[in-house]
Amino acid sequence: MPDLSRPTRVNRAYDLLRADILSNRLPPGFSAPEPDLAERLGMSRTPLREALIRLEHDGLVELVPRRGVRVLPMYPDDMREVYAILAALEPEAAAELALHNGDPGWLKPLEDAVGDMEAALEADDLDAWAQADDRFHRELVEMSSNRRLTEIVTGLYDQVHRARTLTLRLREKPVQSTREHREVLNGILDGKPRRVRKLFRAHRDRTAAELLAILETYHLLHL
């Protein structure tokens, strides 16, 4: 809830560091003392520290006294934690949508996202697919119009972002995932909350298991 838009140094530091972590430019395990980071960002330690506190809350870094900032790794158990929470929240949010029938065209963002997933799948463009997938999930939770829920869920997305990116090309073509999204969307359109919840839940559980299996297979024990 801080104003992320104001052009303050704290915000710049936060945005830059977050982007570097999500993109793996600052890989898990990386650590550096505050003065180094501050210099690299061209600012003093004061705003940097404030940004770091926010990143720590986001579960992206750890502030170890005397050892500086450490980018947190994600172990399979961490992944399980995140997906267990998402498996409880997302299906509920989706089911909720199935009740609130708004004006027609209301679900356009979701339809577009699923459409883009299908198109990307057809075109074998995995990056576009991942982006559309991400959009689907983010749009959906935002439609819940529950600000707290949105913040929690997007925070969790961030935490598993690296793992998703790294495993994107290690999995089979996401044919089933794409179909499942379409089914969830249809369920919402049809106003079937219980069906939607069940479908989404199954989707989450399946994708979580899939991702964990890949991590195990490739011995990617920390991301």
> Distance (Å, rounded) from C-alpha 114 to C-alpha 117?
5
Q: Which does 69 bind (CB under 5 to 8 A by kind): its own copies, DNA, none?
A: DNA
> Distance (Å, rounded) from C-alpha 96 to C-alpha 150?
14
Quote the least distance from Cβ 151 to DNA, whole Å: 20
Provide the 3-class DSSP secondary structure of residue 62. strand
Provide the 3-class DSSP secondary structure of residue 53. helix
By beta-carbon proximity to its own copies, the closer residue of 89 and 215 is 89
By beta-carbon proximity to its own copies, the closer residue of 65 and 105 is 65
Does residue 220 bind DNA (CB under 7 A)? no
Strands (E), the chain: 31-32, 61-64, 68-71
Q: Which does 33 bind (CB under 5 to 8 A by kind): DNA, its own copies, none?
A: DNA
Does residue 40 bind DNA (CB under 7 A)? no
Does residue 184 bind DNA (CB under 7 A)? no
Does residue 58 bind DNA (CB under 7 A)? no
Give the residue among 67, 66, 51, 65 at the shortest CA–CA distance from 18: 51
Binding its own copies (rule: CB under 8 A), the pick from 41, 43, 152, 189 is 152
Count of residues in contact with DNA, rule CB under 7 A: 21
Residue with token string 């210099």? 39
Q: DSSP class of residue 222?
A: -
Counting Cβ atoms within 10 Å, is residue 37 exposed (0-12), middle (13-18) or buried (19+)?
Answer: buried
Does residue 29 bind DNA (CB under 7 A)? no
Interface residue list for its own copies (CB under 8 A):
1-3, 6, 46, 49-50, 53-54, 56-57, 59, 62-63, 65, 78, 81-82, 84-85, 87-89, 92, 96, 144, 146-149, 152, 156
